[in-house]
Amino acid sequence: MNMKQAPLIRTTCPYCGVGCGVAVPAGGRRNTPVSGDAAHPVNKGRLCSKGSLLGETTGLENRLLHPMKNGARIGWDEALDEVAAKFSSVIAEHGPDAVAFYVSGQLLTEDYYVANKLMKGFIGSGNIDTNSRLCMSSAVAAHKRAFGEDVVPGCYEDFEEADLVILVGSNTAWCHPILYQRLLAARARRGTRIVVVDPRRTATCDEADLHLAIAPGADLALFNALFCELAARGTADRAFVEAYTEGLAGALKAARSAHPSLAGAAKACGLDLDTLETFIRWFSETERVVTAFSQGINQSQSGVDQGNAIINCHLLTGRIGRPGMGPFSLTGQPNAMGGREVGGLANQLAAHLDFSDESCNLLSRFWGSSRVAASPGLKAVDLFDAVADGRVKALWIMATNPVVSLPDADAVRKALKACEFVVLSDCVAGTDTAACADLLLPAAAWGEKDGTVTNSERRISRQRAFVPPAGEARPDWWIVAEVARRMGFADAFAYRGPADIFREHARLSGFENNGRRVFDISSLSGISDAEYDALSPVQWPLREGGGTARLFAEGGFPTPSGRARFAAAAPPQRAGPSRFPFTLNSGRLRDQWHTMTRTGLSPTLGSNAPEPAAEINGHDAARLGIEDGGLVRIVTAEGAAIFRARVTADQRQGSLFVPIHWSGENSAGSAAGRLAHAARDPLSGQPAFKHTPARAEAVAPVWQAFLLARREIAKPQCGYFARRRVEGGFLYELAGIAAGDAPPDLDSLAGCTAERIEMHDRHAGALRQANLRDGRLEACLILTRKGKLPSRDWLIGLLAEETLGEDDRRALLTACGAGAAGAEGRIVCACMGVRAGAIHAAIAEGAGDVAAIGDCTGAGTNCGSCRPEIRLLIAQHEKDEAA
């Protein structure tokens, strides 16, 4: 196919909750050009590094292409029959609550709708929960408590129309990059103040006017203090409060109870009084305020209370639902919101219905089923506990990797291994969860699926297929509907395609609604297939004249009284000193997504942060003998894992941070989930990933090495390894930790090919070996017991050479190749592929700011997420010059 002539398919990015539109040539596979959709209202043609490099991830590497049973390929009929038969027999013998689905914010709304309908509508159990439980279920519960329904009241334009934007527990610059760039563009026009509330100094702080580096878990104390001060200083909007809210007096009393004085609140937050006073004054004197919050608020044992504490401040000041104002929950996943619309959370029914008798009856009538679940099911952590203790005997996991992502992940692995029957439907094959499943069902991947997703601002966008499904992959909705048919529910699941499902979903949203539920898209229930195909992005609820950007400026809350509810709680007591003196935090990196099953396919995205690094403050590191670039073991009550140490002033003393992206597939278990405790918010059930008690220990490796190989090798058996894709092959960082960790050689790691060159210096403890075939580099191992390892970049470049000349061979064995000193360096700007070496060179030639470096190299000129890192390089250069 001539790619230049292929028509462009407009679809939606599969990564974060910003929900950018992208355009891809029809038929495009690996390295297909992906561009931003200029007509999409969210991004207007822009993409971040992950979106820009989607083309590097759409190949067939690691795809699950056929149904597999215990490692052997089987046919679709056999696989579907087996799932239906096993689930039916468990239900017949043990009841509907003995089966469960664990699904994902990666599913499209249509997939989600069908899965939820099968479990809650026809199997008759509430046991379907989603990995969105780990992400934003506290925000959902806070919305429901305050507004009566899970509704985000504002829109992205509010970030552009605000005069003060407060980003709480959100590294927006990395995790919601295009929305952050919209904010920065607006700031350049109108001078928006930006406040970041985060114990960690993140890239988002780079542009902040004020960074409140509060103590971990002090968000409730902070926003309770703000709430009380706003009330005391006369900032309340009395008319709004009287007309549209209830419960103010009780909430103020609760908020004051723990810290009656501002000085007490400042102490609890770990802030000086002046800083806290500045924050309160800015909020108080600014009408147009947006408070955006994300995982730092949600992933806490007080996540719901923290969300309500933020909402309280906006209700009190009436700053909600008007341009540039409101509390705003930033969702992590592309379709977390769509999952919430259809009841993907175990404690919700479809169409924002609760588990009341009235709602269950409504659904019974709509679906024509007498089996609708009457009570909520198990939330994620409880669900896997039930798998572990045998209450759940058959589990179907869809499009997610809980063995890596759930807290206390080793216990999840054990639970799956012990479970009678585990089905995994996914588009990828080699995941930690796949290794625990009895049956694997190949699902269509991004680019092969058709349906809708809803982003953080309630905007429904189409995901459209631009290639046919690979191998025997099928859409998730089809797989679920086929199982439903085999379980005896054929009539209720007779969908011809996603448009049928969407129309039913839309019809349900308006069924006996009569204005009681805000979520209403029933005006789309009669659209034709062609209109569905052409559907433009639109925000729900859909009313006369189209979508709705903002809600609640004039009340209309879907509570029994029609009023919003203030809800405040005192912060919980902190635990005293323990054998785990650190607070372990976890989160995302700029260029990776979840457990790297897709972004890990991109050599460019893997270059910026090549290894799992644990961040620790310099004072803590010095006290513990941990060196920057050395190894550190993080230990919690749940487990232990080894990381590369990054010593940085960005961390508070007493805090640690690890990324969430590594797994047992690409590392020796440097997975954040293995360390995280299973403590959770009592209302939402969301795990408190931000606050696991931990300790840190220096690790002295007995040897260190790296292996560069053209092909993937079996997992190395040593105390530490981290694998990433590079241009033309794979790079493995390796280290021996225990005395028994014997140093490897190329034979044990990659075998021996036609030609071997090697240098072994026993005295210095150095080994350098290379396999060549027809003069071409196949693999090389560089190992040292005492010294430093050379730059990888030059060696990676050798994979592109057809034959190695004498100079290259000599340089390989002496590790002194051109560029071995690291002239190229890691990729700083993933969008434009610009490495640190090029930026250093531009600085040396006189480029003194980010714009000048952009002019010279292109770095920082696309999504802008790398600009903080470029500034750091400039600052480092200036420091070096001054020294």
Q: By the criterion CB under 6 A, which residues form the site for ligand SF4?
A: 13, 15-16, 18-20, 43, 47-48, 50-51, 177-178
Shortest distance (Å) from residue 40 CB to ligand SF4: 10
Task: For residue 833, give the 3-state DSSP assignment.
Answer: coil
How many Å apart are CA 383 and CA 685, to the nearest integer?
A: 11
Between residues 42 and 215, which has the closer beta carbon with respect to ligand SF4?
A: 42
Shortest distance (Å) from residue 290 CB to ligand SF4: 18
How many Å apart are CA 76 and CA 636, to the nearest integer?
A: 43
Shortest distance (Å) from residue 54 CB to ligand SF4: 8
Between residues 16 and 84, which has the closer beta carbon with respect to ligand SF4?
A: 16
Between residues 109 and 684, which has the closer beta carbon with respect to ligand SF4?
A: 109
Shortest distance (Å) from residue 131 CB to ligand SF4: 17
Between residues 174 and 293, which has the closer beta carbon with respect to ligand SF4?
A: 174
Shortest distance (Å) from residue 18 CB to ligand SF4: 4
CA distances from 380 to 80, 249, 406, 684 (A): 25, 35, 8, 10
Shortest distance (Å) from residue 298 CB to ligand SF4: 18
How many Å apart are CA 181 and CA 438, to the nearest integer?
A: 44
Residue closest to 423 by CA, chosen among 449, 407, 400 = 400
Between residues 245 and 295, which has the closer beta carbon with respect to ligand SF4?
A: 295
Q: What secondary structure does DSSP assign to 470-492, as a single string?
A: STT-B-HHHHHHHHHHHTT-GGG
Between residues 211 and 598, which has the closer beta carbon with respect to ligand SF4?
A: 598
The tokens describing 741, both together, are 């960790």
Radius of gyration (C-alpha) of the chain in whole angstroms: 27
Between residues 35 and 666, which has the closer beta carbon with respect to ligand SF4?
A: 35
CA atoms within 13 A on the CB side of 583: 21
Between residues 106 and 306, which has the closer beta carbon with respect to ligand SF4?
A: 106
Shortest distance (Å) from residue 157 CB to ligand SF4: 16
Between residues 58 and 347, which has the closer beta carbon with respect to ligand SF4?
A: 58
276-283 CB contacts, 8 Å cutoff, 24+ apart:
276/212, 276/222, 276/225, 278/210, 279/195, 279/210, 279/212, 279/222, 279/226, 280/225, 280/226, 280/229, 280/230, 280/233, 282/164, 282/193, 282/195, 282/210, 283/164, 283/166, 283/226, 283/230, 283/313
Residue nearest to ligand SF4 (CB): 51
The tokens describing 229, both together, are 């001060």
Evaluate the CA torsion angle 184, 186, 192, 195 in order and state its sign: negative
Helix, strand, coil share of the chain (percent; to 5): 35, 20, 45
Shortest distance (Å) from residue 599 CB to ligand SF4: 10
Shortest distance (Å) from residue 155 CB to ligand SF4: 16
Between residues 57 and 617, which has the closer beta carbon with respect to ligand SF4?
A: 57
CA 873 from centroid of its chain's CA atoms: 27
Between residues 771 and 865, which has the closer beta carbon with respect to ligand SF4?
A: 865
C-beta neighbour count of 459 within 10 angstroms: 23
Shortest distance (Å) from residue 16 CB to ligand SF4: 3
**Is residue 103 within 8 Å of 343, Cβ to Cβ?**
no
Residue with tokens 């919601």: 176
Between residues 19 and 338, which has the closer beta carbon with respect to ligand SF4?
A: 19
CA 543 from centroid of its chain's CA atoms: 32
Residue closest to 558 by CA, chosen among 543, 539, 541 = 541
Shortest distance (Å) from residue 15 CB to ligand SF4: 3
Shortest distance (Å) from residue 640 CB to ligand SF4: 32
Strands 459-463 and 451-454: antiparallel
